[in-house]
Amino acid sequence: MEATDYCDKVYKQMVGMKAGLYDLTCQVNKLSGGMKDKAAATLEKLHGMVAGVDQNLEDLITASPTDWSPDKKKIDAGMEALSQALQGMADQMDVAIPDTSDWI
């Protein structure tokens, strides 16, 4: 697989994850008190994870290295961690997150 094909695949998955993160944000905004504060802190971490994966993808596209397997491993690990964290919070908040693996 070419790096550009890989990046396109990951970007498509990120669209769904970002949609799920938006849905979670809307749900958190309906909360109050300590529950809202705790959930907001988790959302902030999720936004940071999204930004990290986005930056890694951008770096891969910009650098276009001959051997991009280390970049792929880093991005895959970030996507897996983001997916698990997002799904965990979605389960707690009873929010459905799109299964973006079907989109590719």
Residue 104 has pLDDT above 60, yes or no: no
- Locate the domains of the chain by residue range: 3-94
For the record, the structure tokens of 5 come out as 């094909």
Residue 77 has pLDDT above 90, yes or no: yes
- What's residue 102's pLDDT? 60
Cα 77 to Cα 24, 39, 64, 84, distances in angstroms: 22, 23, 19, 11
Residue 82 has pLDDT above 60, yes or no: yes
Give the pLDDT band of residue 11 (cuts 50, 70, 90). confident
Residue whose entry in the numeric block shows the structure tokens 């970002």: 18
**Under a CB-based contact definition with an 8 Å cutoff, are residues 23 and 95 in contact?**
yes
For the record, the structure tokens of 85 come out as 């964290």
For the record, the structure tokens of 37 come out as 């504060």
